[in-house]
A and B are shown apart, each in its own frame.
Chain A
Amino acid sequence: MKAYEKHVAVKDVSFEVPAGSIFGLLGPNGAGKTSLIRIITTITRADEGVVYLDGEKLNSRHPEEIGYMPEERGLYRKMKVGEHLTYLARLKGLSAKDARAKISGWMEKFGIEDWWDKKVEELSKGMQQKIQFIATVVHEPKLLILDEPFSGLDPVNTNLIKDEIHSLRGKGMSIIFSTHRMEQVEEICEHIVLINKGENVLEGKVSAVKDRFKQNLFELEYEGELPEGLLEQATVIHQKPGRLTVQVAETAESNTLLRAMLDRGVFVKRFQEILPTLNEIFIRQVN
């Protein structure tokens, strides 16, 4: 729990981030995401409750094992890129030599080797974002927390960072990914937690969450006429010639419906379950 004066920002949140997975931390504005992240990154302390990292209670050594890219981020404008990255890496406990070697590696990977002596203020916002990403991951943290990591990036660089996130996950890094962009969550995350007003609303694997919120909607495309009485057990949501959206009481009934259609000689071109998007779930749960 975390309370500020008369306002409780994080009330009752609990979730587990599986090691080596990408975890989505979702919630509307003011849900308490940032307050929660600040607790995890040891910036602030929880008034009540504990955070475990790798089975160990959060302590003062842990900041070096965490990489945090805040939503509101910046760099020292007058510093040179190489110096700046070395400074941030050393604050995370790397030796000067290690820091330089690792930073060079990353800069090479991003094709920006020649930026070492450039001043930060000479870079565009998107370019600074790349530097920021390197700063967050250069010390090879166990836990990576990314708050809106793609804001301000063009599609090419978004993909570049996305690929890096996946490859870091492959190396065993656990990644907490916080964003409002649900399509990104759907694309990237395996697990999510949704918090609202400082409390857990739902948590689990993305596929399981979707499953839980499905409304047994099916969309089908066919040719020819639909026989009378076929749709007695289903509710028609939407109907157009050759296309139909129906809701059934239980998932199993979809099979009955399909079989009936086939039996009655309807030519079925497509029969598909419609799962809710995370966006829909989010909106439904938050309101």
Chain B
Amino acid sequence: MDKLWLIIKREYLTRVTRRSFILATLLTPLAFGLFFVVAGLIFQYESDDSRRIAIIDEGNIFDRSIKDEENLYFKFVDTDLETLRQNFDDFDYDGILVVPKVKDVMATRHTIYYYADKQPSLDIDALIRDRVRGQMRDYKIEALQLDPQQLEAIDTRIELEPEPIDDESTDASKLTGAIAAGIGGVMGIVMYIVVFIYGMMVMRSVMEEKTSRIVEVMISSVRPFQLMLGKIVGVGAVGLTQVAIWAILIPIIILVSSLLFGIDSSAQMEMAQQQPGGANFNPEDTEAMVALAIEEFQSLNWWLILPMFIFFFLGGYFLYSSMFAAVGSAMGDDLGEGQSLTIPITIPVILAFYIMIVAIQAPNSSLAVWSSIFPLFSPIVMPARLAFSPPVWEVVLSVVLLAATAIFFVWLSGRIYRVGILMYGKKVTLKELGKWLFYKD
């Protein structure tokens, strides 16, 4: 036990004091912050492009009044189109908008024309169409002599409010799904990255020990299993440290940079959702939604989600990194030669990742449910489902199965490892690894 602790300590300390570790741990959040700032600036940038547009309103639909948009100025002109077009360079307009007469009030389609030397950008295109459509609506209401209030009443906005079937379950709001999907997605991706980065780190380190022959010296003092377990635990602690630092630093850096650069994250969200030609987005709605989202975020059962996340982190990490350790022990000096041995490990990880993406959209589908219980997938799929408050029995079953499987795989890998680290100059196949399992000590 003492020796195991010494090994864990060495594996941990030599890694966290390495310059490359410190740089990666600090630079990654900075890179995130930089990405955030740049993305924010990019989203803000497009409204800088100012345009002056001349409108020829042939049917007088606008009644000579139109609201200027930020960076977009409209001017009604009486000059005829031909003159305007021929002298386009003399006028200080960026484009000429021709709105023809409305011939048939019942028509659902109306073509307007935009003359310019440059194609209208997507956002300007959307803005113009939006303006004209609104004006056209008012025009038609008047022309058809409709009651605007009645008209408004026709359009009913339906909201779906999820309610629990019994009184005990917590009441979910309409945003629960979206928030849970977001958190689940982030957790699933973190798990996926963790398994790969730190699993590979364990594998490389085992290979290094074998090729540098330090392993021969080590195992005359400690059991191979202690050496392997110490390495897995040590690297796992490094992983937890790094993820914890990121979990603290990334939000802080994003917060600080959004304050410094005045980037409104809801503006980003708005921009992202406002697809050209899409439905218009009410800013008041956004604010309400952000408030609701924050409330929803806080109401999630973090006391369950966080410990569970750490459990699945450790379970998944132990499960996969022990396999990586076994493969590392079997590899010789040549990394390329053993590459094919890692494929059976990476396939379930990648499959689990895809299932996770499906699972956050349909968290209660049978694919999601069974994958979040199956131990090779559960470390990635279950964290993604946690925020959707899955039934207790599923979580318990998943936890028990993962714990048992992880322990079993660590034991199994230990058996391969103890043979592998002493085996040199042999091309190893999967079948060979299987045989090693049954070697006597």
Interface size counted on chain A using CB atoms at 8 A:
30
Closest A-chain residue to B13, C-beta based?
Answer: A83
Q: List A contacts of B214 (CB < 8 A).
A: 73-76
CA distance A45 to B217 in the complex (A): 17
CA distance A75 to B14 in the complex (A): 14
Is A91 within 8 A of B440, CB to CB?
no
Is B220 within 8 A of A76, CB to CB?
no
Is the interface on chain B under 10, 10 to 19, 20 to 34, or 35 or more residues? 20 to 34
Q: Is B213 an interface residue (CB 8 A)?
A: yes
CA distance A210 to B22 in the complex (A): 63
Closest A-chain residue to B3, C-beta based?
Answer: A91
Q: List B contacts of A78 (CB < 8 A).
A: 14, 18
Q: List A contacts of B222 (CB < 8 A).
A: 63, 91
B294-347 contacts to A, CB under 8 A, are: none
CA distance A90 to B422 in the complex (A): 23
Is B220 within 8 A of A66, CB to CB?
yes
B187-221 contacts to A, CB under 8 A, are: 212-221
Is B213 within 8 A of A72, CB to CB?
yes
Q: How many A-B pairs fall under 8 Å by CB? A: 62
Is B440 within 8 A of A47, CB to CB?
yes
B397-441 contacts to A, CB under 8 A, are: 422, 424, 435, 439-441
CA distance A132 to B217 in the complex (A): 9
Q: List A contacts of B435 (CB < 8 A).
A: 5
Q: Is A23 an interface residue (CB 8 A)?
A: no
Shortest distance from the beta carbon of A100 to any chain B beta carbon, whole Å: 15
| A74-B10 contact given A5-B435, A44-B441, A47-B440, CB 8 Å threshold | no
Q: List B contacts of A79 (CB < 8 A).
A: 14
Q: List A contacts of B439 (CB < 8 A).
A: 4-5
Is B216 within 8 A of A70, CB to CB?
yes
Q: List A contacts of B213 (CB < 8 A).
A: 70, 72-74
Q: List A contacts of B3 (CB < 8 A).
A: 91
| A63-B6 contact given A72-B213, A74-B213, CB 8 Å threshold | no
Is B14 within 8 A of A88, CB to CB?
no
Q: Is A245 an interface residue (CB 8 A)?
A: no
Cβ-neighbour of B441 out of A45, A63, A68 (below 8 A): A45
| A91-B216 contact given A44-B441, A78-B14, CB 8 Å threshold | no
- Bitwise, B258-272 to A at CB < 8 A (1) or not (0) is 000000000000000
CA distance A90 to B14 in the complex (A): 16
CA distance A149 to B220 in the complex (A): 16
Is B212 within 8 A of A90, CB to CB?
no
CA distance A66 to B222 in the complex (A): 12
B1-55 contacts to A, CB under 8 A, are: 3, 6-7, 10, 14, 18
CA distance A87 to B6 in the complex (A): 8
Q: Say what secondary structure dominates the interface of chain A.
A: loop
Closest B-chain residue to A70, C-beta based?
Answer: B216
Shortest distance from the beta carbon of A178 to any chain B beta carbon, whole Å: 14
Q: Is A36 an interface residue (CB 8 A)?
A: no
A225-247 contacts to B, CB under 8 A, are: none
CA distance A5 to B215 in the complex (A): 23
Is A76 within 8 A of B14, CB to CB?
yes
Shortest distance from the beta carbon of B331 to any chain A beta carbon, whole Å: 16
Is A70 within 8 A of B440, CB to CB?
no
Q: Is A197 an interface residue (CB 8 A)?
A: no
B61-112 contacts to A, CB under 8 A, are: none
CA distance A47 to B439 in the complex (A): 11
CA distance A77 to B212 in the complex (A): 8
CA distance A70 to B215 in the complex (A): 10
Shortest distance from the beta carbon of B22 to any chain A beta carbon, whole Å: 14
- Bitwise, A37-78 to B at CB < 8 A (1) or not (0) is 010011111010000000000000001101011101111111
CA distance A74 to B422 in the complex (A): 14
Q: List B contacts of A92 (CB < 8 A).
A: 221
Is A87 within 8 A of B10, CB to CB?
yes
Closest A-chain residue to B436, C-beta based?
Answer: A5
Is A76 within 8 A of B221, CB to CB?
no
- Bitwise, B219-249 to A at CB < 8 A (1) or not (0) is 1111000000000000000000000000000
Is A74 within 8 A of B217, CB to CB?
yes
Max chain A CB contacts within 10 Å: which of B212, B215, B221? B221
Q: Is A31 an interface residue (CB 8 A)?
A: no
- Bitwise, A77-97 to B at CB < 8 A (1) or not (0) is 111000000011011100000
Shortest distance from the beta carbon of A72 to any chain B beta carbon, whole Å: 4
Q: Is A173 an interface residue (CB 8 A)?
A: no
Is B220 within 8 A of A43, CB to CB?
yes
Closest A-chain residue to B218, C-beta based?
Answer: A91
Cβ-neighbour of B220 out of A68, A75, A77, A87 (below 8 A): A68
Shortest distance from the beta carbon of A260 to any chain B beta carbon, whole Å: 59
Q: Is A135 an interface residue (CB 8 A)?
A: yes
Shortest distance from the beta carbon of A234 to any chain B beta carbon, whole Å: 52
CA distance A278 to B23 in the complex (A): 59
Shortest distance from the beta carbon of B21 to any chain A beta carbon, whole Å: 12
Is B217 within 8 A of A88, CB to CB?
yes
Q: List B contacts of A135 (CB < 8 A).
A: 217
Is A45 within 8 A of B221, CB to CB?
no
Shortest distance from the beta carbon of B330 to any chain A beta carbon, whole Å: 16
Q: List B contacts of A90 (CB < 8 A).
A: 6
Shortest distance from the beta carbon of B212 to any chain A beta carbon, whole Å: 4
CA distance A122 to B242 in the complex (A): 29
Closest B-chain residue to A96, C-beta based?
Answer: B6
Q: List B contacts of A64 (CB < 8 A).
A: 221
| A72-B220 contact given A5-B435, A45-B440, A45-B441, CB 8 Å threshold | no
Q: List B contacts of A72 (CB < 8 A).
A: 213, 216, 424
CA distance A69 to B217 in the complex (A): 7
Is B216 within 8 A of A73, CB to CB?
yes
Give 13 A-B contacts (CB < 8 Å), ordered by A residue: A38-B422, A43-B219, A44-B441, A47-B440, A64-B221, A66-B220, A69-B217, A70-B217, A74-B212, A74-B213, A74-B215, A75-B217, A132-B217
Binding site for A on B (CB under 8 A): 3, 6-7, 10, 14, 18, 212-222, 422, 424, 435, 439-441
Other contacts beyond A87-B6, A88-B221, A90-B6: 4, CB < 8 A: A5-B439, A63-B221, A72-B216, A87-B10
Q: Which 5 A-B pairs have the closest CB atoms?
A: A74-B213, A74-B212, A68-B220, A70-B216, A91-B221
